[in-house]
Structure 1
Amino acid sequence: MVLEIRGLRVGFDVPSGRLPAVAGVDLTLRRGEMLALVGESGSGKSALAMSLVGLNRGPRTHISGEVTFGGRNLAEASERELRAVRGKDIAVVFQDALAALNPLHRVGAQVTEMMRAHRRMPYGTAMDRAVELLGEVGIANPRASSRALPHQLSGGMRQRVMIAMGLANDPAVLIADEPTTALDVTIQAQVLSVLRRASADHGTAVLLITHDLGVVAEVADRVAVMYAGRIVEQGSRDEVLFNPQHPYTIGLLGSVPPIDGPVADRLPAIPGSPLTGVDRPGGCAFAGRCAFAEDACTEQPELRHRHGEPGHLDACVLPDSVRRQARGAGPDPQPERPERPERPERPEQLEQLEQAAGTERDLVRNEKGRA
């Protein structure tokens, strides 16, 4: 276990009171796994992730609970202690790469900053490593690209630069906050492949924040579904996607338009709106939007194992009969877990990707030899 979160709460002071962005979350992150944190906008995903390394601290922010990393509680660590962790042991890939990168500095120099801030490394050595990292994340001609300013690169290339910065010090944990937002599907697939390779090759634990269930199905090992600041369901990817238990998870999956079958007159959607105010009702936060809510839902449900694999947890008190009804009531009932035969073209595509990656590594070595 690399990172353990227990009872994490994050609140922000607003004119109307204190907004509970994260309301008592328990999570664990293991070495070499990709954990997807899923939920609607405003569910508390980014607030949770940024609080892990204190990036949302301030006079109007209140953080409590435990974030255990390396035997220390980061929730109580000083700013000086957190600076020693950020970028070295726990790195962050931000959603908007153009806003995150300094527009006046060349991207290669920005990658070197991460290494020189935490290691005693000469600039030339750091730049060679930066060029190597840019090649590893799939940027063509990395030596020349390292001299570019952020606005001279495409959105996909800027996001790869952010990933290279995150991987510069071989962190134990990489937090990727919506890394594929605003990218076309081809570039999305390439960025996700880079994250997956980093997790597999370096044993990096990746916390992937997303609202895209297609991304979750593609790369996640485990999934945690978040609603109104709480985890309402978590488990392995296949358990959550093909055996959902919480009505909110069922609603999220049912809201994805089917790629085959009849075309509906209207896109399926969860009725109502997410909770956004400081006053939260007692009990299940989703009860006001749940068509199957009962009197028992006025009590705060505990996240625990009820069905499926031992690690499959949900926070719903509804009986099995109602859950089965909920799974079949949506416009797109969830299918049985499918058999996934290997597509004949997939091995060939993977081989081509590996060959391309090998070519990039050769180019990097040749450029370093000529330097």
Structure 2
Amino acid sequence: MTPKTDPVLSLRNFSVSFRSSEGTVPAVADVDLDLYPGELLALVGESGSGKSALTMGMIGLNRGPGTTVGGRATFGDTDLVTATEKDLRAIRGSEIAVVFQDSLSALNPIQKVGAQIVEMLRLHSALGRREARARAVELLDAVGIVDPEGAYRSYPHEFSGGMRQRVMIAMALANDPRVLVADEPTTALDVTIQQQVLRLIKRLQRETGSSVILVTHDLGVVAEVADRVAVMYAGRIVEIGTVDEVVGNPRHPYTRGLLESRTPVHGPRLTRLPAIGGDPIRGAERPDGCAFAPRCSLATPDCDHGIPLLLPADSPPGHLDACLTNRVKVPAHA
């Protein structure tokens, strides 16, 4: 069910497109999405589905002369789409923070970890250097680093990938943001470390009351940490609901395909995992109908004409899907 509170962040008809040699690529198309106070929302889909384009476009981190961002992204009294770069800089790192997937690139390799956290703290607060240092050590301890004093004096290359992600989380939480965007934070980490990082994010979310958008390509990893799940394909949300609804009762064929592609924890070992047939949509061309139809075993000729609405079927009203076999459709380009 949808929470009975006002969202902390609300997207309406949100779109992101990139100009390329092939034409205009619609990376995100007319997305409506709400993030509620204190919830962890997982944004799931294959690479190229539009997850990172949505989150980075929302906070102005992938804008340039070849990028067009449209619709609305309401955060408090601010529309992030029309906000100036000065306004966005004041919000980023303070009220909306990001944990990037490549921590080694995101951290400055020639600056000690502690100095980077102190810089983030002093950029958005009135803390003095001594107070900021004490707060930085406190944050390193809060994210589970065994020797926070030693970590404060260390360089990023001296840490493992999992420890660097903990440092990134400490930096992101430095100014008590209302929203935390974790963009594929467990990429390139082994399974055990992935679980540790995800559980850390969930614990800190509960303790701080922040709202979290967790971007991931793996539906399986969100089962124990997410409150709600939004599944993206070809720049659109094709299913959304609570984690129990989406993982326990998937409605869209694409969601089912993602779940079936997971490595089973129990039962006999498979020699080959099931896979979704075909390839994700690339480039500027988009079909007039359902974008998943060319890969869908349930597709009918009607699926080639008109974009399916994201609406409830016979599930709870907060569980929506955009499959024509469950629903009516709207005309293409409406």
TM-score, normalised by the number of residues in structure 2: 0.94
Please give the alpha-carbon distance, in whole angstroms, between the structure 2 residues aligned to 1:153 and 1:71.
40
- CA shift, 1:131, in A, is 0.3
Aligned residue for 2:71?
65
Aligned residue for 2:321?
314
Tell me if the contact between 2:220 and 2:259 (Cα under 8 Å) persists in the aligned partners.
no
- How many residues are aligned here? 320
Aligned residue for 2:54?
48
Matched, 1:20 2:29: no
Matched, 1:305 2:312: yes
Please give the alpha-carbon distance, in whole angstroms, between the structure 2 residues aligned to 1:291 and 1:221.
30
Q: Which runs of 5+ in 2 are unaligned?
A: 1-6, 328-334
* SS of corresponding position for 2:224: helix
- CA shift, 1:256, in A, is 1.5
Tell me if the contact between 2:308 and 2:322 (Cα under 8 Å) persists in the aligned partners.
yes
* SS of corresponding position for 1:37: strand
Residue identity opposite 1:221 in structure 2: D
The percent of aligned pairs where both chains have the same amino acid is: 60
Residue by residue over 1:128-165, the C-alpha shift from the partner in whole angstroms, topping out at 9 and shown as x without a partner, is: 10000000000011011110000011111100000000
Matched, 1:127 2:114: no
Aligned residue for 2:155?
149
Please give the alpha-carbon distance, in whole angstroms, between the structure 1 residues aligned to 2:69 and 2:258.
29
Matched, 1:221 2:227: yes
TM-score, normalised by the number of residues in structure 1: 0.84
Residue by residue over 1:79-103, the C-alpha shift from the partner in whole angstroms, topping out at 9 and shown as x without a partner, is: 0010010000000000010010000
Structure with the bigger percentage of helix: 1
Please give the alpha-carbon distance, in whole angstroms, between the structure 1 residues aligned to 2:315 and 2:24.
37
Please give the alpha-carbon distance, in whole angstroms, between the structure 1 residues aligned to 2:263 and 2:104.
31
Please give the alpha-carbon distance, in whole angstroms, between the structure 2 residues aligned to 1:319 and 1:200.
35
Matched, 1:189 2:192: no
- CA shift, 1:191, in A, is 1.2
- CA shift, 1:194, in A, is 1.6
Tell me if the contact between 2:138 and 2:148 (Cα under 8 Å) persists in the aligned partners.
yes
Residue by residue over 1:194-237, the C-alpha shift from the partner in whole angstroms, topping out at 9 and shown as x without a partner, is: 21112111110000001122321120000000000000000000
Aligned residue for 1:84?
90
Please give the alpha-carbon distance, in whole angstroms, between the structure 2 residues aligned to 1:280 and 1:210.
23
Tell me if the contact between 1:138 and 1:160 (Cα under 8 Å) persists in the aligned partners.
yes
Tell me if the contact between 1:257 and 1:268 (Cα under 8 Å) persists in the aligned partners.
no
Aligned residue for 1:342?
none
Moved more, 209-218 or 72-81: 209-218
RMSD across aligned positions (CA)? 1.2
Residue identity opposite 1:77 in structure 2: A
Aligned residue for 2:331?
none
Matched, 1:293 2:299: yes
Moved more, 210-219 or 272-281: 210-219
- CA shift, 1:188, in A, is 1.7
- CA shift, 1:265, in A, is 4.5
Equivalence map 1:303-342=2 (5 Å): 303-319=310-326
Aligned residue for 1:251?
257
Q: Which runs of 5+ in 1 are unaligned?
A: 321-371
* SS of corresponding position for 1:87: coil
Task: Report the structure number with the largest CA radius of gyration.
Answer: 1
1:113 to 94, 109, 119: 119
Aligned residue for 1:275?
281
Matched, 1:206 2:246: no
* SS of corresponding position for 2:214: strand
- CA shift, 1:319, in A, is 4.4
Aligned residue for 1:363?
none
Change (3 A) 1:186 1:261: closer
